[in-house]
Chain A
Amino acid sequence: MIVPIGRLVRGDWETLRAVRLEALADAPYAFGSTHAEEATLDDAAWELRITEQAWFVALDAFGPIGVASGGQLRDPDPGVRTLRSMWVHESFRGRSVAEALLGEVAAWARGDGAVTLTLWATRDAARARAFYAKAGFIATGEVREMDPARPVEMARYELTL
C-alpha cells in the first residue's frame, strides 16, 4: 500500500470537505453532484455525511490524496451497499490507491452484513469504469440518467463480496 488509509470519524468534516471539493473540481464529469452545490454546504452538513456513510481517505504527509465511501442510502435490499465518491489524485493514479480504498469499503460492507457492493459510474469516467471491471465488478446493464438537469448516462456495476 503506497500511503496509509484511514476512516473518517466525527470531527473530521474539514478533511472530508477538502478532499471532496478537490475531487469535484478535478473530475466534474465523474460525480452525481457539483463543486458549486457542495461548496455551500455548512459544517453540520459535512458532519452528517460522515455519520450517514463510511468514508475512507488515503493520506500522504500533506493530506488526503484519495477518498471513497460506502453506504446504504438508496438500497432497500439489506444485503447491498453502495460505493460512492471514489477519487484519487492525478499524481497517485495507477499506484493501487483506488484498489486499497475499494478494499476498505468492501471490508466495511462485508462487516456491515452486505453480500453485494454496487456503484453507478458515469459514461465519461472511462478510467474508473475500466478500474471497476478489472477489480471484478460486473456491469448489470442497468442505465439511468443522473438527473433531469444533468442528462449524463450512468451505468450500474455490482461486485459480489
Chain B
Amino acid sequence: MEGNDARRANLDHWEALANYHGHGDDAYYDLDLLRSGGTLMGVEELAAIELATHGVGLAGRFVLHLQCHIGCDSISLARMGANVTSVDFSKSALDRLDVLAAECGVSVTTIEADATALPATLDGRFDLVYASVGVLCWIEDIDAWMGCVARVLRPGGSLVLVELHPVVTMFESVEPLVADFPYCFDGPRTYSGTGTYANRDADIAWTTVQYAHSLGEVVTAAYRAGIVCTHLIEHTSGSFNTGQFDGPEDDDRYRLRLGVGAERDGVREPACPLPVLFTLVGVSAAAAVPPPTSA
C-alpha cells in the first residue's frame, strides 16, 4: 500500500486508537493522573525542553505540538505556561484533547492537519515545536516533515524531538529475536495485526503503513531544512515499554540487550544495552541552509 491508501489506512488506525486510549484499558494513557495535575512526559522530554529553552522555560511561549494524538503532553506544555497549538490528522484525537483540556482547566488550540502539510497560517509563529515518540514512522517524506517544522518556527525557535531510536524499532520482538523493520528508509512497509502499542490485547485489528528513517536521515533532514542540531542524545534506557520487552529492569527502566556480555570471574554479565530512544534538539537558523537541488 502507498500514497492515499496508506494515509487512509493509517488514519483509520489512529481514529480507532484515539477512541480506545485513555479509558483505563491501556498502560500509557493515565488520564486520571493528568487530570489530578500529574504529567505523562518522560524524563527525556522534560530534559529536552530544559535544553531547548536553556533553562528559561516555556512560560508565555508559543508551542506547536505535532502529531499530538489525544494530547496528554499538550496539557503538560500548557501547564508550563505555553500557548499551545496541537496538530493531529485524526479528528477524534483532537476531540478527545478538547475534552481533556477542559477537564484539566487549560487552553489548547487544536488543528486537524497532516504534519507534512501544515497550514500557512502557522508559518513563523512558534518558539518551539514539540514532537514525541512514535511520530516519524508515520511520515514518508522526512524532508517535508522537517521543512514544515522549519517553516512554522520563528528564527531562533527550537525543535524538541524525542523519538524511538531506529535501532529498537528494527525489532518486532527480542524473544525470539525478530528484526522486521528496516534501519534506513526503504519505502512503505505494510503491517497487520491486533492490539495497540499501549495494550497488545486490545480488541483492535489494524493494517498500517510505516516508514523507517535512520538517525542519519533525520539529522540530515534537519540540516537541510535549516535546523541546526544543538543536541543529539541517544538513550540506552527508556521509561516505557517500546513493545519488545517482558518488563523493566530492577531500576524500572527498559533496555534493549541482545545476546550476552563477557564472563568475568565465572559470572556472565548482561549484554551492553543498545539505544532505545533519541533526543534531537535544534534551533531554526536565522539564515537557512539552502536545500540541495534535486536531480
**A interface, CB within 8 angstroms of B:** 1-4, 59-63, 65, 89, 91-92, 95
Q: Is B194 positioned at the interface, with any CB of A under 8 Å from its CB?
A: no
**A116 vs B283: C-alpha distance when bound (angstroms):** 34
Q: How far is the CB of A117 from chain B (nearest CB, A)?
A: 24
Q: Would you call B235 an interface residue if the criterion is a C-beta within 8 Å of the partner chain's C-beta atoms?
A: no
Would A91 and B51 count as touching, CB distance under 8 A? Answer: yes
**Within the complex, what minimum Cβ distance (angstroms) separates A74 from chain B?**
32
Which residues of chain B from 138 to 159 have any CB-CB distance to chain A below 8 Å in the complex? Answer: 153-158
Q: How far is the CB of B256 from chain A (nearest CB, A)?
A: 28
- A4 CB, min distance to chain B CBs, angstroms: 5
B13 within 8 A of A: no
A2 to B128, CA, bound (A): 16
> With A61-B61, A61-B158 given, is the CB distance from A92 to B287 under 8 Å?
no
Question: A90 → chain B, closest Cβ, in Å?
Answer: 9
- Chain A CB within 8 A of B264 CB: no
**How far is B288's CA from A4's CA once the two chains are assembled, in angstroms?**
12
12 A-B pairs besides A2-B228, A2-B283, A2-B285 with CB distance below 8 A are: A1-B287, A4-B286, A60-B158, A61-B153, A61-B156, A61-B157, A62-B56, A62-B61, A62-B127, A62-B158, A91-B231, A92-B230
Of A1, A2, A63, the residue contacting B54 (CB under 8 A) is: A63
The closest CB in chain A to the CB of B283 belongs to: A60
With most chain A CB atoms within 10 A of its CB, the pick from B53, B155, B281 is B155
The 6 closest A-B pairs by CB, nearest first: A61-B127, A60-B156, A62-B56, A61-B157, A62-B53, A3-B156
Chain A: minimal CB distance from B198 (Å): 33
User: Per DSSP, are chain B's interface residues mostly helix, strand or loop, or mixed?
Assistant: strand
Task: Take A61-B154, A91-B231, A95-B228 as given contacts and tell me if A3 and B283 are in contact as well, using a CB distance cutoff of 8 Å.
Answer: yes
| Residue from B51, B61, B231, B286 within 8 A of A3 (CB atoms) | B286
Interface contact B127-A4, CB-CB below 8 Å: no
With beta carbons under 8 angstroms apart, the residue of B51, B53, B156, B158 that contacts A59 is: B156
List CB contacts (< 8 Å) of B206-254 with chain A: 228, 230-231
Q: Of all chain A residues, which has the CB nearest B128?
A: A61
CB neighbours (8 Å) of B285 from chain A are: 1-3
| Least CB distance, A62 to chain B, in whole angstroms | 4
**15 A–B contact pairs at CB < 8 A?**
A1-B286, A1-B287, A2-B283, A3-B285, A61-B61, A61-B128, A61-B153, A62-B53, A62-B54, A62-B158, A91-B51, A91-B54, A91-B281, A92-B283, A95-B230
A3 touches B155 (CB 8 A): yes
CA distance A3 to B127 in the complex (A): 13
Give the shortest distance, in Å, between B233 (CB) and chain A (any CB): 12
CA distance A87 to B54 in the complex (A): 15
